[in-house]
A and B are shown apart, each in its own frame.
Chain A
Amino acid sequence: MSVRTDAFLLRERKALRKKRLRNIRPASFFVLPGLILACVFVLYPMFFNIRISFSNYQIVQRNIIFTGLDNYIALFTERGDRLFLAMRNNFLYAVVTTPFIILFGLLFAVMVNSLKRGGVFFRTCFYLPVITSWVIVGNVFAYMFNAGQAGLMNYLLKDVLGLLPAYVPWLQRTWTANLVIWLLGIWKNIGWSMIIYLAGLQGISNDLYEASSIEGANKFQQFWKITFPLLKSTTFYVLVNMVIGAFNVFIQVYMLTGGNPRGTTSVLQYLLYDKAFNLFEFGQGAAIGMITAILILVTTVVLNKVFRTEGGKAE
């Protein structure tokens, strides 16, 4: 009896395995290309980067000599606290720019959405900065915030409006330079945030507004009690994207300050670039990549804990 049962079970298992294989085969046809590409261009470089971060990587000789935590120790104990300054600036960038991007993105989205005519025109206008080249706008900002009379801002604020007692060397001072970097980031990302909010607004039923109108709610109450709560998952999406984006800031710093003065406007990605391509410290560059990844991971987990409820929706 038991022998017959075992044979039956074996047959059943075989049949099940065959069925699974039959299902996997057509699916693998679609999955494999993407999987191979992900392995080649994402997973392999990622693991290679982890390996380099613990090594002395001699790029020409292709030697990867294991050095343990040396690269990390070198970064954390470096003179001038370059790593800490870069991390500080990344966090400040996230803290300063994200609220403005969310606020103005939402504001413009609500305004554009309420337009009966010209919506496409304004949507395009607000979105233009997003698709404009970073290099071009970087140069424009460098001109606008040029030191001395040649800078547009200095000319306006001192010569025209008389608000400044002297010309400001915007990009040569730590906090004015950081301010310019933040401004560029805010200006460049509001359009993206607006588009995401516009998509979110399309999902809110008109019935809610009609019903609230009948109940006597005014526009502000409608926004505060209907629009804003129903856009919370959209806000969470924008928030996470902007915070992660804050750790990838590079071109603004590269174009405007080069991390100067004394690394006080540098950010992690610029420091990585500087270590790898100017100082040829590839191990330290890879280590900065790892540190960035860990920071992004931790920040995302914290954001998830703070802003998400059990149902998976933003509170």
Chain B
Amino acid sequence: MKKLFSLLLALAMLISLCAAAGAEGVTTITFWHTYGDQETPILDEVLIPMFEAANPDIKVDAVRQSGDFNQMVVTALGTGVVPDIARVDITKTSAYAKLGGIIAMDELDGFAALKDAVLEGPLSTNVWNGHYYGLPLNTNCKAAVINLEQMKALGFDGAPATMEEFIAACKEKAPGEFKLNVSGVGDWDLYPYFWLFGGVLTDEGFTKASGYLDSEASVNAIKAILQMHDDGVFTIRDVDGTPDAWDGINSQYAMFFEGPWYPFSEGIVPAQIPTYNGITASVVGGENIVIFEGSKNKEAAFRFLQFMLSEEAQLELLKVGVIPTLKSLVENEAVTADPKWSVYMKQLESAKSRIPTPQASTVEQLWSDAMNMIFLEGADVQETLTNTAAEIDIELAK
């Protein structure tokens, strides 16, 4: 009996030693993300096994976070218990960079190739202080959501090509009926219109708003939007108390701008945002992938990042509606064959990012305040934009 017990004990020790030897050399990295119910199985059951098979020395521990993800990240930074790598909102990247929580990737071996491979609009959301602190993992933008029947009543067979003809048709055939809708006056809602009508937020380096936001072009852009509003063509739900776009597009509105998550149907289809003065515009959304300063496995994390930006990984996620960020996939058959993805990928080419600054929340607030003053209180456009530009300058200088 004693012999048997000793044998079992020796066997148990041998097994644990073998297990320890097996674990040795395997690096486990933690990946925080907020993928939804559809995307998470693809990540857990397809992508991670695929990566681990190709990289047997790395194990990925993917943790799906819920609730206020930004709060989770800030708390993690405060406690020092951070993941190695994470998928974060594009508007938060520069803020985490300023806090010193994530690493600049410029000098990493292989970064230059990745930088050249991704779309420039989404890439620009990773810049802070002249360095790249992440890479765009998935992207989205707004495109036009069209009610075909409403458009037909306005005399269009499908989406109008230009805003000029759309506005003229609305004024003529449906005066005061508000055929174009937006939810509010925040940056995500109004930037596409502002850019479409020729407005400019800052210089190219995102360092100064004065001279740009209050320029003649920007003032004219806001005035053009105001004019559309006064003409009964364009309504802002939060200002006018009109029905929400998602409800109203079924019966009242002919068009609004929305991301690819809108549940399109036979009569309500996606289309390119009509041009104004020959240009179209949209706003970039999406998530970046970043590596944390506190990570002890930065090299392994970067290998996982490279994998997530590979064509095979991006195409897998496209199957569940995650728009890729690789330039090479814009013309990929999986994209062009799909009526929805083809529209959004094409629109992305003209989509711009919001100002990538650690003060993004304050800048957004300043913009919303200015638009509220103009659209709700009838404030002078030039004066309001000049004051707001000066205040944004202060924020950008911080």
Contact = CB atoms under 8 A, between A and B. Distances in A.
Contact of B70 (A80, A146, A261, A277): A277
A169 B70 contact: no
Interface string A232-275: 00000000000000000000000000001111000000000010
Interface string B224-251: 0000000000000111111110010000
A278 interface: yes
B244 A279 contact: no
B99 A169 contact: no
A79 B361 CA distance: 15
Interface stretch (B13-21, B304-312, B368-376): B368-376
Contacts of B362: 279
Nearest to A273: B71
A59 B242 CA distance: 44
Contacts of B241: 147-148, 154, 166-169, 172
**Chain A contact residues, majority secondary structure:** loop
A49 interface: no
B358 interface: yes
Contact of A172 (B98, B99, B239, B293): B239
A5 B359 CA distance: 76
Interface in B282-318: 293-294
Contacts of A263: 365
A279 B372 contact: no
A58 B80 CA distance: 12
Contacts of B184: 172
Of A58, A147, A150, most buried by chain B (CB within 10 Å of CB) is: A147
Interface string A160-204: 000000111100100000000000000000000000000000000
Interface of B: 68, 70-71, 74, 77-78, 80, 95, 98-101, 184, 237-244, 247, 293-294, 358-359, 361-362, 365, 368-369, 372, 376, 391
Given A59-B99, A80-B369, A261-B376, A147 B71 contact: no
A150 B247 contact: yes
Of A59, A60, A261, A280, most buried by chain B (CB within 10 Å of CB) is: A60
B74 A279 contact: no
Contacts of A114: none
A97 to B, nearest CB: 26
B243 A261 contact: no
Contacts of B369: 80, 261-262
B361 A274 contact: yes
A148 B71 contact: no
A149 interface: yes
Contacts of A79: 391
A61 interface: yes
Interface in A49-69: 58-62
A44 B361 CA distance: 31
Contacts of A274: 361
B387 to A, nearest CB: 10
Given A60-B293, A149-B247, A280-B74, 13 more contacts: A58-B100, A59-B74, A59-B78, A60-B101, A147-B237, A150-B243, A166-B241, A167-B241, A172-B241, A262-B368, A277-B68, A279-B361, A280-B358
A149 B243 contact: yes
26 contacts: A58-B99, A60-B77, A60-B100, A60-B293, A61-B100, A80-B369, A147-B237, A147-B241, A149-B247, A150-B247, A167-B241, A168-B241, A169-B238, A169-B239, A172-B238, A172-B239, A263-B365, A276-B74, A277-B68, A277-B71, A278-B70, A279-B359, A279-B362, A280-B98, A280-B99, A280-B358
Contacts of B372: 261-262
Contacts of A277: 68, 70-71, 74
A301 B242 CA distance: 47
A62 B369 CA distance: 34
Nearest to B292: A60
Contacts of B244: 146-148, 150
Contacts of A58: 99-100
A291 B18 CA distance: 59
Nearest to A282: B78
A302 B78 CA distance: 37
Contacts of B74: 59, 276-277, 280
Contact of B99 (A60, A154, A166): A60
B70 A147 contact: no
A148 B95 contact: no
A59 B243 CA distance: 43
A59 B362 CA distance: 20
Contacts of B70: 277-278
Contacts of B294: 60
Nearest to B244: A150
B45 to A, nearest CB: 31
B396 to A, nearest CB: 14
B355 to A, nearest CB: 15
A38 B243 CA distance: 51
Contacts of B361: 274, 278-279
Given A147-B237, A149-B243, A262-B372, A59 B77 contact: yes
A79 B362 CA distance: 11
Contacts of B358: 280
B77 A148 contact: no
Contacts of B365: 263
Of B99, B241, B242, B293, most buried by chain A (CB within 10 Å of CB) is: B241
Contacts of A166: 241
Contacts of A280: 74, 95, 98-99, 358
B368 A260 contact: yes
Nearest to A262: B369
Nearest to B75: A277
Contacts of B99: 58-60, 280
Nearest to B74: A277
Of A80, A169, A278, most buried by chain B (CB within 10 Å of CB) is: A278
